[in-house]
């Protein structure tokens, strides 16, 4: 059996050129792949790329980026409301625990009640750990705030001092410490946000007395930081309201208010803003579901009914 050396060399040469071109076509960063599809697939082969996790990313971020300036006064209010809400959660479940204990003593050998009792005990232990975590974060935040206030006073003192070399060096160190304490406070604010649970909001409809008529169409837009919930509804002949979305979950934020805007959709080019309002969320840290009637306009003739449930 004979081999044609020229053909073999030509084939090896073509393979070498091919591998060299593939090397040039690779991206500069290992984590990226050229022309990757929406779900993490290569659009040329339609096969999963190696070492790529296929995850569905949210349309928009649910958290604000770290703020450049801490909000200590606002965080004090948020911490007080959150701590009160967690303590109320514990009180409600303690009452339920006492009631189950009484039923177990009256009805012995009831396995269903025993399982329910143990489930509540586990949940209460989780709540207690959650509360201690929140208190620990707030204590660390207060320490950083005191250090930041001290660094601010040092910066002011060195700025008013004479421009000696030692004063300039001390001023530089004080400014560096001030920036570090500021970053730590912003980081702790974001970490506290992750401990604030969720607000589950249910749409209950609009109430407008004689303001709402059959056939009217409305759009409700709720903004909470970068989170948005847009829903549209129509009033039927029987005064029943049909909405294209009924539930949404908001992640609580430290520095934001809930903004609500209601618009009446008359035609493609003619929309009438019924009203807009901003709502405080601190009162919603409550263990039981709350039904809210929000006045949309100044006269209060149009109200938005919502049911909000906080889950820690």
Rounded to whole angstroms, what are the CA distances from 178 to 5, 35, 189, 216, 246?
74, 45, 17, 56, 46
Q: Helix axis angle, 165-193 relative to 72-106, nearest 10°?
A: 30
**Cβ density class 4-17: b for 16+ within 10 Å, e for less:** eeeeeeeeeeeeee
Rounded to whole angstroms, what are the CA distances from 249 to 199, 222, 287, 309?
6, 11, 16, 10
* The pLDDT of residue 110: 79
The top-level CATH class assigned to 198-311 is: mainly beta
* The pLDDT of residue 21: 43
* The pLDDT of residue 103: 86
Question: Which residue has tokens 């421009």?
Answer: 163
Structure tokens at 21: 């071109």
* The pLDDT of residue 111: 84
Which string of DSSP letters, residue by residue, matches 227-287?
EEEEEEEEE-TTS-EEES--EEEE---SS--EEEEEEEE-SSS-EEEEEEEEE--GGG--S
* The pLDDT of residue 135: 97
10 Å Cβ neighbour count for 258?
23
Dump pLDDT digits (tens) for 101-134: 888 888 776 788 889 999 999 999 999 999 999 9
* The pLDDT of residue 307: 96
Average pLDDT per consecutive 10 residues, the chain (312 residues; last block may be shorter): 51 48 40 35 35 30 55 96 96 93 81 90 95 97 96 88 79 91 95 96 90 90 96 91 95 95 85 92 94 90 94 90
Q: In what order do the strands lie in the sheet with 258-265?
A: 241-243, 227-235, 217-224, 258-265, 271-279
Entry pTM:
0.73
The full length of the chain comes to 312
Beta carbons within 8 Å of 270's beta carbon, 6+ residues apart:
none
CA 71 to chain centre: 18
Inter-residue contact 130 to 195 (CB < 8 Å): yes
Domain boundaries, the chain: 29-58, 72-193, 198-311
């Amino acid at each position: 059996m004979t081999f044609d050396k020229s053909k073999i060399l030509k084939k090896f040469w073509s393979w070498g050129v091919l591998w060299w071109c593939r090397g040039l076509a690779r991206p500069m960063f290992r984590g990226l792949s050229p022309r990757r599809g929406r779900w993490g697939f290569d659009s040329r082969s339609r096969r999963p790329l190696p070492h790529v996790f296929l995850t569905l990313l949210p349309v928009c971020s649910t958290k604000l980026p770290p703020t450049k300036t801490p909000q200590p006064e606002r965080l004090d209010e948020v911490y007080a409301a959150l701590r009160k809400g967690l303590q109320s959660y514990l009180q409600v479940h303690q009452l339920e625990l006492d009631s189950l204990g009484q039923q177990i003593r009256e009805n012995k050998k009831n396995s269903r009640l025993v399982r329910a009792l143990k489930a509540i005990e586990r949940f209460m232990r989780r709540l207690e750990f959650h509360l201690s975590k929140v208190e620990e974060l707030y204590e660390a935040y207060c320490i950083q705030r005191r250090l930041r206030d001290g660094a601010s006073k040092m910066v002011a003192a060195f700025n008013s001092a004479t421009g000696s070399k030692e004063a300039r060096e001390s001023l530089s160190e004080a400014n560096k410490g001030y920036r570090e304490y500021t970053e730590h406070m912003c980081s702790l604010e974001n970490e506290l946000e992750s401990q604030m649970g969720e607000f589950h909001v249910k749409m209950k409809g609009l109430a407008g007395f004689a303001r709402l008529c059959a056939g009217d169409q409305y759009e409700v837009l709720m903004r909470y930081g970068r989170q948005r919930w847009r829903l549209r509804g129509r009033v039927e002949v029987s005064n029943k309201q049909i909405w294209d979305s009924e539930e949404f979950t908001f992640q609580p934020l430290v520095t934001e208010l809930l903004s609500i805007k209601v618009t009446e959709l008359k035609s493609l080019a003619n929309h009438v803003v019924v009203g807009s309002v901003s709502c405080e969320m601190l009162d919603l840290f409550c263990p039981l579901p709350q039904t809210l009637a929000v006045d949309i306009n100044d006269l209060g003739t149009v109200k938005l009914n919502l049911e909000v449930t906080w889950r820690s």
